[in-house]
Structure 1
């Protein structure tokens, strides 16, 4: 049975941080500030100590590595209630949205689409379209190439028109970084990339697909619903209340 907790662990393995340390069953993660998922504590299971004490360890881990403390936690779970009770607050300032829907779908193969291919290495065009301004760092490249990964590329008019990333873990195809160049949107490339990646994942032995999307991203949610995705659970990011998690080394 895929509980929210077990699926969160699988998703974390598909998006590997550069540093990961256990805190009981929780996972402290660091990746040079690239994405919330790789630079937060994954608060699933038992931290092995009182939650308030565990959160102090989260603060110390983050401060030692120069990132802001943050927790990723399954929405409405006992851990989320305990984190709120310890004085942390929802990370409403998170750039990509702090409330996230985790969607899953069965993998269905589709006919090949001309110009859409899954590579075993990222192409220069894949990098260019995947990484937003200010994101192209060694840490980002290590996260995005960690694990067993396929790099979907749609080529149109001689250039890279769309990209997507697929990582294989525990029988899942984890989908991320779907992006279509604005000049080539509304041509069905997003669906073509997704369908091609699904076929690749099924050929690699994956049985189902999973992805994460901000709850406020209605356009993406509609696209994924049309491809057979349905909500599995939700998670939120939490941060310390102002002044409650000061860096003891400063």
Structure 2
């Protein structure tokens, strides 16, 4: 089973840059999007064979997530059930008989870390939410989690130490999430692989120089480890400042 996650940084723009061709080429069983920047009715994607689930932010042109799946779920949940965190369209959960699939667009702490407190609250609530799901069955989590966990996960750790996405607080909270019973699937297969990134700033030719960050993930609850087959970063695919990431799993 193949799963893809991609922060498209505006789906309407991505569609103009061959999104549908890439979607068809990847041919995933589940295709999860973050930062769709859409409201209901602003796009009509013809994706034969897929069920479509969308979570829109209340603020126009902001945030938003989607999941396209070949298999209809038992249930769909939008958000975590916490008003403070559920207005920005950041979370979708699909339930299947053997597992949950969650896609998340984790809040960015912002310039001067103005949203760090909000982000910290999200991280705590998110860990608790995933823990509740994992107590019932296996969980796969994907998305732009807006944190580079270790120094190996970004090109310039020293100069970015205290920058949004690489503060000690954000990294520690990600460590706590993993310690609660989740595995970073890419590092499971490639623990020492360097210069593997999923996001590059549009500034200063960062992508040409591969001066990036790995902030897009597939996590799996530890009970699924034996079923993991591979994890990939499709750095050769353009159309956004992020590239798609992939999980292959036998379920």
TM-score, normalised with respect to structure 1: 0.35
Task: Select the structure that is richer in strand.
Answer: 1
Higher Rg of the two aligned structures: 1
